Amino acid sequence: MSRGLKVTFLIHAVVALIFGLLLLVIPGRFLLLLRWWPIDTITSRVFGAALLALAWSSFRGWQATERVQVAILIELEAVFTVLACVGLLRHLLAAHYPIQIWLLFALFLVFAIAWIYFLVRRGE
């Protein structure tokens, strides 16, 4: 497995862990920092749990030694991040949102590009 893929898994695990914990434990305070409202704490906590699950799977992907062990995980990450970008962009283009939400979109976009890159490069 390539070093770039392993690094991507590790970075994603850390980012998803941080965001997942914040959304699971203190969703209201965290989303207010992003200037994101209205806040639905139940949905935010469920999303936090999903991010923590993705963090765990990325950690396991980082531990893997062969690409075949993580092929499906790369597909899942690519689909998730692309759909997150589509969903966020739909709102960002329809209304005025603060820069923090654009930065969140950019973060998803960077990961989407990385996962798609590794998905296309199946031979690594």
pLDDT tens, position by position, 13-29: 999 999 999 999 999 99
Burial class (CB in 10 A: 0-12, 13-18, 19+), 95: exposed
Whether a cis peptide bond, with omega within 30° of 0, leads into 27 is no
pLDDT at position 35 is: 85
Res 75: pLDDT: 97
Residue 32: give the domain boundaries: 3-120
> How many domains, the chain?
1
Q: What is the pLDDT of residues 27-61, one digit of tens each?
A: 999 999 988 888 899 999 999 999 999 999 999 99
CA 29 to chain centre: 20
Structure tokens at 20: 């997942």
Residue 124 has pLDDT above 70, yes or no: no
Question: Is the per-residue pLDDT at 62 higher than 90?
Answer: yes
Whole-number pLDDT of residue 107: 98
Q: Has residue 123 got a pLDDT over 70?
A: no
